[in-house]
Amino acid sequence: MADTWVFDFQDGDATDKAALGGKGAALASMTQADLPVPPGFTITTDACRSYQQQSVFPDLMWKQVEEAIGRLEGLTGKEFGSSENPLLVSVRSGSAVSMPGMMDTVLNLGINEQARVGLARVTGDDQFAWDSYRRFVTMFGEIVLGVAPDRFEGAVKATLDMNGCDTPGNLPADALSGLVDRLKAIVYGQSRHEVPDDPFEQLRLTVGAVFDSWSNKRAQDYRNLNGIPHTLGTAVNVQAMVFGNSGPTSGTGVAFTRNPTTGEAHLFGEFLPDAQGEDVVAGMRTPLPIDHMAETFPEAYGQLLEIAGRLETHYGDMQDLEFTVENGKLWMLQTRSGKRTGRAAVKIAVDMAASGLIDERQALQRVSADQLEQLLHPLVDPAVEVEVIGVGLPASPGAVSGQIVLTADAAVDLSEAGTPVILVRHETNPDDFHGMVASRATLTARGGVTSHAAVVARGMGKSCVVGCSNMRVDFEKGLVRFDNVVLAAGDWITVDGNTGRVMAGQVATIEPETDEDFDILMGWADSHRKLGVRANADTPEDASEARRLGAQGIGLCRTEHMFFGEERIAAMREMIMAPNEVARREALAKLEPYQTADFEGIFTAMDGFPVTIRLLDPPLHEFLPNEQDLARELTDLKLRLRLLNGLDDIDRLLEEIHDREVVIAQVQRLAEENPMLGHRGCRLGLTYPEVTEMQARALFTAAVRCVDRGITVMPEVMVPLVGFEPELRTQAELIRSVAEEVFLYHGLRVEFLVGTMVELPRACLRADELATVAEFFSFGTNDLTQMTLGMSRDDSSRFLPGYVQRGVLPADPFQTLDIAGVGELVRIGVERGRGQRADMKIGVCGEHGGDAASIAFCHDVGLDYVSCSTYRVPVARLAAAHAALA
Amino acid sequence: MADTWVFDFQDGDATDKAALGGKGAALASMTQADLPVPPGFTITTDACRSYQQQSVFPDLMWKQVEEAIGRLEGLTGKEFGSSENPLLVSVRSGSAVSMPGMMDTVLNLGINEQARVGLARVTGDDQFAWDSYRRFVTMFGEIVLGVAPDRFEGAVKATLDMNGCDTPGNLPADALSGLVDRLKAIVYGQSRHEVPDDPFEQLRLTVGAVFDSWSNKRAQDYRNLNGIPHTLGTAVNVQAMVFGNSGPTSGTGVAFTRNPTTGEAHLFGEFLPDAQGEDVVAGMRTPLPIDHMAETFPEAYGQLLEIAGRLETHYGDMQDLEFTVENGKLWMLQTRSGKRTGRAAVKIAVDMAASGLIDERQALQRVSADQLEQLLHPLVDPAVEVEVIGVGLPASPGAVSGQIVLTADAAVDLSEAGTPVILVRHETNPDDFHGMVASRATLTARGGVTSHAAVVARGMGKSCVVGCSNMRVDFEKGLVRFDNVVLAAGDWITVDGNTGRVMAGQVATIEPETDEDFDILMGWADSHRKLGVRANADTPEDASEARRLGAQGIGLCRTEHMFFGEERIAAMREMIMAPNEVARREALAKLEPYQTADFEGIFTAMDGFPVTIRLLDPPLHEFLPNEQDLARELTDLKLRLRLLNGLDDIDRLLEEIHDREVVIAQVQRLAEENPMLGHRGCRLGLTYPEVTEMQARALFTAAVRCVDRGITVMPEVMVPLVGFEPELRTQAELIRSVAEEVFLYHGLRVEFLVGTMVELPRACLRADELATVAEFFSFGTNDLTQMTLGMSRDDSSRFLPGYVQRGVLPADPFQTLDIAGVGELVRIGVERGRGQRADMKIGVCGEHGGDAASIAFCHDVGLDYVSCSTYRVPVARLAAAHAALA
């Protein structure tokens, strides 16, 4: 093995993709199945690896290549450089994983002056021979000798103009002859290298260039970005040319064995008569739908249908085929797994499993989490071209269009009049809540994916893009400025919450749909996965939707979101402005009925499933109006005071000024340098135990009422931001004592758990101590990531995208868990927690709970469940199944 | 042993403080050294522990007590309850560690109607006998039966008034008799318990009460707070009474074997003739200086001097003595190590070591870090009473007074006129720098101990208190409001940077002084410690001072502090406002000469020692003016524009408005939700490599120039806030390439290291990866604490003090390292870092580098050095010696 660097297609081990590359393995497989494949051979990835280390071809390799060419000459009856019957070959790179950025294909290699003559003689087509030469010189110059493509353009265009032609393939032979000379001269001028005449020299240089292209910058960057080892190397496939461009009985095409958009089981593809593959790519001629071949190439088409079926059966997956017809004869050039839409992926997987071609497990593995997600939200139609005017963070998925509104009130007014609107703000705060409800989407210039706008939008399942940093809103003039585009209130805009893109105008979208196939696949996922899947849901409506999507409980109910409604926020602010505990308790008493009713609704929706309720978490200032808005109002009021003529309004004005000043003073008192690290979570509960009391009373009262109505409730009370055991112990004691009071009062007991959100590095390190109190853990990986990486999700937009691009980080750590860092803390937390309390129920409730790679980690580390945004529940179910099958 | 619960003083093992308690061991020791100690016995802590578990006295204990009383009767010739010659005893608790909150002392136990008669008979003093009875009933009622002291006050006052007396001790016998009856009635009324007549019953109840007091809430809280195990238990000492109040030849006193304030070697103390110890405590009579005894009690005084010398020699430490003279005879009641000031501690330790009484190691252990610190800064004179009007965070030590100024400019004007001023602000920013320079201290209402004011003040060694949250500055009216006090600009105020206290007016302070003894002790510390001690210093002046205080290098030079000077901040802002890289480089070029000069000065000051230079760390917006100030200015300008009559000023006004708007826009662009977790540290260096380049060029140029001048430089370039290996690698490559450029240009090389600040949890977890690049680590435990605990130092003032008070946390984690949490990450970082690079130099450069407990941890975990604020260098040297000796 070690000294065999070259395998003929009929000899290679078709299962050894690592050595032959994907393309080489497929060619070997097809050849050995007696499909019509032009003969050829593969130079292995081992040769490439050796070349990478030694900078020269390994010993014997070139000799083996020469021998393989010899065999090829024997098989085809053609000869390299022959003026009688010349052998031309294609040279294609092919690594084990498909990878853009590498040198790809050189066609017609072997052509030179004699071979051109030979080719003209064999085909009887002088023009064709010259055109083949032209194609070779162009590709060799560009790909092997590194000539920039635009260097050729002038010469080509001049020749075309002179001959009144639109494509070089139509030029007459003599024009092509002149063009070939000019192209050769350009190659030499640019690279100081002649295009060699010796076919072996052509081949030697081309193989070296393919090997070199493995380590060019683009390829390296791509591998860094996608975590592909640099040591894989690429194989090189050398194959006898067949010519789809040798006249009207020839052609070339690509075909999918099933429809890659819908998944329907019929051959789907395109065919271009009298053409080589590159002509299809160049797009200068429009190919025909593949079923046209049934009339024009009936025999080849019949054979293609039969081969397509065989290959699909052989590989057990929908195939993407490349083929050429040369003078009526079908030649297969490539087969590989075909890319497909989410809808097609589901249908193909379910159909194939139904027909017994694959089993359930394989069917599950055929559909990726990304593909599944396409089925759940409106997408920008990939077929249309869009002009992106801004890019922000995709905070809540869905692509929607609407007319721009700049205030919450305008959103309500217009939407009530039936106009679809999109709310555009610098950032949102609780005052904008009703405007977000009225809008189809929200777009903000500032903030991250945990900002107010993002969290509220996700809670409502509405599209949202935040942190669109090249956008400025000019409220005075009613304009929204992007880099080169200025839109006005009332203009149409499209917001793509799937990708973060912002587009002017109305862009065509594809509406989501799920069908029976989807339900079947999800059923299989549920039967294979080990991880439970819960939803993060804060309202009864959200809980019902989560249940419909298959959530087995709520892993995170953020109670503070219940305070953002119009009447509630007033009571909440009263609580915050309260000068003492008595006043605070009065305000809390107003909030309690709302919370009780919400909890009752959520418990009812989740009848029979656990509901994890997190106590108040954010710092209190988040519930107060924005300081700058207040200051602006105050300035206006004071100005009015100064300019006042009469005395009628003075009292009212002075009162308004006083009110503002009181609120501003409190806002300033509560202001924090770093609210993420501030007075929040259980720290609030320790400072204001009456808040914890109110929340506990509301939730246990709701639980008791539900039980009374025959509902099965399983509350799990979660104390947030715990770093020290005494914090948790104090809050747990308070919660349990309130529970006893409520149960005693109602004469009814409810089983419940008290646990904690593990979201501080310290909590992971001291999980053993926390586990003496906590009956469950839920890893809050959002905040845990922020703390562990010292990276604010809201503020990282200025550097994080660059980090991911340059490979400092493999992925956005707020989307995909940083397993090496944050993951290690999770692992420590699980070990130490279970070390203290072996049956500890442990879940994850950050955004990562809906991310496939992170779910795989959660499975590996032995968590009981993941909890994610409602809309990602199906994705999580599938990803959990993938993890179990891995 | 297990069954011996009681030891006579002459029998107990004087070295077994655990069993006998501190007081019992001292009494045993003195008794066995034949000093005049009233006889008695000790009930062991074992008995207390057993009682805590069983709630009854252990078997045999009471029998042993009765036997010991029998022996006591034999020794004294007195008898319990005797009407001839009654035995009275004192009962005192005494655990192994001194502990407030526990039941302390009951005197005259054994007195009843017969014993009173007997006492009067023996002493011939009826009044004395009744007074002794009064004292017993009061103490027994209060301490054993829990009667509130104020319940007795009415009866005592009425009796005093009726008899025209001012203290109960002067009441005539019959008045005392009536008072005793009334006191007994009050005891019964309050407690429903009679004061028992049986002396054994008195003793039984008192011993039980002492045992119970071990677990009362105050004692438990104290132990929780001070980390004292609850299992220690307390001993009880029962001792024959001697009466300092039995007439003019009697008295009682306390004495220190050396002066506890200055450390001078002469007996120092107070003596109160004809009094019991409680009279001294009650403070109703003024004691005399102890040398008065030389005249009035020459014999007892001589004996006391001799005993003081013997005890000091025996214990090898300055002793705090309690004694009584009864009818001319000296009785020793207690000896223990005496509390002393820092100055005395140093002098006593050095003197005793010089005289050979103790060795160097013991001398070092005799001086605590806190005591040493007293010598380094002005203190509020502990002798004066102060009215504290506000309390903030002690950000930079020193107690100073000055007149209030509210703006930086006013500070400069007044201080130039010779007025000592204190700058009072809500918070400071770079614009206030010159005002801070001009002021003696800075006081702010907001911000934590890493806020701008705090960091700058520490850098200058000026006193500073920040986050004084009950203070509001009213700039319009020129007032500073505290809860109940309003001061105006120009009023005197005193700021205590040692404790955070704020006082109105000028408060007397004690100026710091170090002397030869200090230097000697520091020399010993240096020869015993293993840890290196470096300083955090940002200027040449600071570096010189650090060196003078014994720093062996700079562990943290914060380059950004060099940008706060008036001209520099202008260039810095120009850099930040620069629209593109070219403009940014131009602004950086203006900053470079300043940095180069600063580095040169610092290297020069630290000739021969390493200097760790941290690259730019804070987010850029910290260098811009405050947004609210800008907005206020803008509003004013716009208002002026509206009110403008003529047209003369319009252009200038419009221009000023435009300027403000541009800066505000940039401030807003750079604003961050959580700057601590934002675009800072190496993230800046990756986004703007030209900043790193400038800094590297400045520091290497400075190094080369120094070498040229014969200075030995050892630069260590530190990349801040690294979480991922590629961050460090990229920056390190840039730094090394700039170094090569500079060295090539100057034809001179300098050895240097590149390392990283380990301040993110992720950096600790992935220290092995970082160590592939880093040549040194410096743990930035300030930020590491903030991230690990998810707790912003600036914002924690609203809950952290309560946390410490309630024992959620043993200490402020920003002062004393949270060893269980943050410490574990440090440990992991050290292990993994050295696992990759065995000889890795590792230090600590957070505030913890100057905290004794944290330094002990740094020693244990194997760090090479600690680096702390300049002013704490001596403290760190001593603490490092303590750690090495532990």
Q: State how far the Cα of B456 lies from the Cα of B508, in Å rounded to an integer.
A: 26
Write out pLDDT tens, residues A534-558.
Answer: 999 999 999 999 999 999 999 999 9
Q: Comparing B621 with A710, which gets the higher pLDDT? A: A710
Region for A213 from its dihedrals, namely left if φ exceeds 0, alpha if ψ lies in -120 to 50, beta otherwise: alpha
Q: State how far the Cα of A885 lies from the Cα of A529, in Å rounded to an integer.
A: 8
Instruction: For residue B437, give the nearest of B541, B514, B536 by alpha carbon.
Output: B541
Is residue A265 within 8 Å of A258, Cβ to Cβ?
Answer: yes
Q: Comparing A797 with A213, which gets the higher pLDDT? A: A213
- Put simply, whether A227 touches B (Cβ < 8 Å) is no
Q: State how far the Cα of B376 lies from the Cα of B550, in Å rounded to an integer.
A: 13
Q: Between chains, do A790 and B807 touch, taking CB under 8 Å as contact?
A: no
Judging contacts by C-beta atoms under 8 Å, the chain A residues touching residue B729 are: none
Is residue B710 within 8 Å of B608, Cβ to Cβ?
Answer: no
Q: Looking at residue A366, what is its pLDDT?
A: 94
Q: State how far the Cα of B97 lies from the Cα of B214, in Å rounded to an integer.
A: 12
Instruction: For residue B279, give the nearest of B305, B254, B307 by alpha carbon.
Output: B254
Alpha carbon A595 to its chain centroid, in Å, reads: 36
| Chain B residue closest in CA terms to A726 | B808
Count of residues making up chain A = 886
Task: Give, to the nearest 10 degrees, the angle between helix A113-123 and helix A126-139.
Answer: 140
Label residue A647 by pLDDT band (50, 70, 90). low
Write out pLDDT tens, residues A567-588.
Answer: 888 899 999 988 888 999 999 9
Starting at the earlier edge strand, list the strands of the sheet with B501-504. Answer: B388-391, B501-504, B492-496, B399-405, B421-425, B441-444, B463-466, B393-396
- Token couple for B810: 């043993």
Q: Comparing B489 with A284, which gets the higher pLDDT? A: B489
Q: Looking at residue B1, what is its pLDDT?
A: 47
Is residue B727 within 8 Å of B793, Cβ to Cβ?
Answer: no
Is residue B848 within 8 Å of B492, Cβ to Cβ?
Answer: no
Q: State how far the Cα of B146 lies from the Cα of B144, in Å rounded to an integer.
A: 6
Write out pLDDT tens, residues A356-368.
Answer: 999 999 999 999 9
Separation in Å, CA A397 to CA A411, A440, A547 = 20, 12, 19
Q: Nearest C-alpha of chain A: how many angstroms from B757?
A: 13
Residues 6+ apart with CB under 8 A from B385: none
| Nearest CB neighbour to B792, from listed A672, A686, A807 | A672
Q: Looking at residue B646, what is its pLDDT?
A: 61
Is residue B403 within 8 Å of B421, Cβ to Cβ?
Answer: yes
What sign does the CA torsion over A445, A446, A450, A452 have?
negative
The SS3 of residue B610 is strand
Is residue B462 within 8 Å of B441, Cβ to Cβ?
Answer: yes
B452 is an active site residue:
yes
Residue carrying the six token digits 């030694």: A54
pLDDT averaged per 10 residues in sequence order, chain B, 886 residues: 86 93 94 96 95 92 96 95 95 85 84 96 92 94 91 92 88 94 95 95 95 86 78 94 90 93 92 83 77 93 96 94 94 92 93 96 94 87 88 88 94 91 89 88 84 78 88 89 92 93 92 88 97 95 93 95 82 89 93 96 97 95 83 80 69 84 84 91 95 97 97 98 96 97 96 98 98 98 96 85 84 92 98 97 93 96 95 94 96
Label residue A224 by pLDDT band (50, 70, 90). confident
Mean pLDDT of A492-506: 93
Is residue A733 within 8 Å of A654, Cβ to Cβ?
Answer: no
Residue carrying the six token digits 């920040």: B466
Residues 6+ apart with CB under 8 A from A501: A380, A386, A388, A390, A391, A465, A495
Q: Between chains, do A802 and B672 touch, taking CB under 8 Å as contact?
A: no
Mean pLDDT of A35-40: 96
- Range of lowest pLDDT (A9-18, A209-218, A232-241, A604-613): A209-218
Q: For chains A and B, what is the number of CB pairs under 8 angstroms?
A: 173
Structural element, H or E, at residue B733? helix B725-746
| Chain B residue closest in CA terms to A787 | B787
CB atoms within 10 A of CB B638: 15
B845 is an active site residue:
yes
Residue A1 has pLDDT above 60, yes or no: no
Per-window interface: B 629-648 vs A, CB < 8 A:
631, 635, 639
Query: In A375-515, which ranges are continuous DSSP H helix?
Result: 408-416, 433-438, 452-460
Q: Looking at residue A493, what is its pLDDT?
A: 96
Structural element, H or E, at residue B28? helix B17-32
Write out pLDDT tens, residues A584-620.
Answer: 999 999 999 999 999 999 999 999 999 999 999 998 9
What sign does the CA torsion over B406, B410, B412, B415 have?
negative
The SS3 of residue B95 is strand
Q: Looking at residue B100, what is its pLDDT?
A: 67
Q: Between chains, do B792 and A447 touch, taking CB under 8 Å as contact?
A: no
Instruction: For residue A821, give the nearest of B615, B793, B730, B825 by alpha carbon.
Output: B825
- Put simply, whether B148 touches A (Cβ < 8 Å) is no
What was the ipTM of the complex prediction? 0.83
Q: Between chains, do B794 and A674 touch, taking CB under 8 Å as contact?
A: yes
Helix (H) and strand (E) counts in chain A: 34, 33
Q: Between chains, do A726 and B807 touch, taking CB under 8 Å as contact?
A: yes
Say whether pTM exceeds 0.90.
no
Judging contacts by C-beta atoms under 8 Å, the chain B residues touching residue A820 are: 765-766
Q: Between chains, do A792 and B447 touch, taking CB under 8 Å as contact?
A: no
Q: Looking at residue A100, what is its pLDDT?
A: 67
The SS3 of residue B557 is strand
| Chain A residue closest in CA terms to B628 | A628
Structural element, H or E, at residue B856? helix B852-860
- Token couple for B12: 């107990």
Reduce the secondary structure of A5-70 to three states and give it as a string: CEEECCCCCCCCHHHHHHHHHHHHHHHHCCCCCCCEEEECHHHHHHHHHHCCCCCCHHHHHHHHHH
Residues 6+ apart with CB under 8 A from A282: none
- Range of lowest pLDDT (A44-58, A801-815, B320-334, B762-776): A801-815
The SS3 of residue A878 is helix
Q: Between chains, do B821 and A766 touch, taking CB under 8 Å as contact?
A: yes
Q: Nearest C-alpha of chain B: how many angstroms from A575?
A: 17
Q: State how far the Cα of A679 lies from the Cα of A691, in Å rounded to an integer.
A: 14
- Put simply, whether B822 touches A (Cβ < 8 Å) is yes
- Put simply, whether B760 touches A (Cβ < 8 Å) is yes
Write out pLDDT tens, residues A146-173.
Answer: 898 889 999 999 999 999 988 888 899 9
| Nearest CB neighbour to A726, from listed B679, B789, B808 | B808
Q: Looking at residue A287, what is its pLDDT?
A: 86
Structural element, H or E, at residue B765? helix B761-765
Letter string b/e over residues A830-841, b meaning 16 or more CB atoms within 10 A of that residue's CB: bebbbebbeebb
The residues of A annotated with a catalytic role in the active site are 452, 845
Strand-pair partners of B239: B40, B90
Region for B614 from its dihedrals, namely left if φ exceeds 0, alpha if ψ lies in -120 to 50, beta otherwise: beta
- Token couple for B260: 């506890």
Judging contacts by C-beta atoms under 8 Å, the chain B residues touching residue A822 are: 762
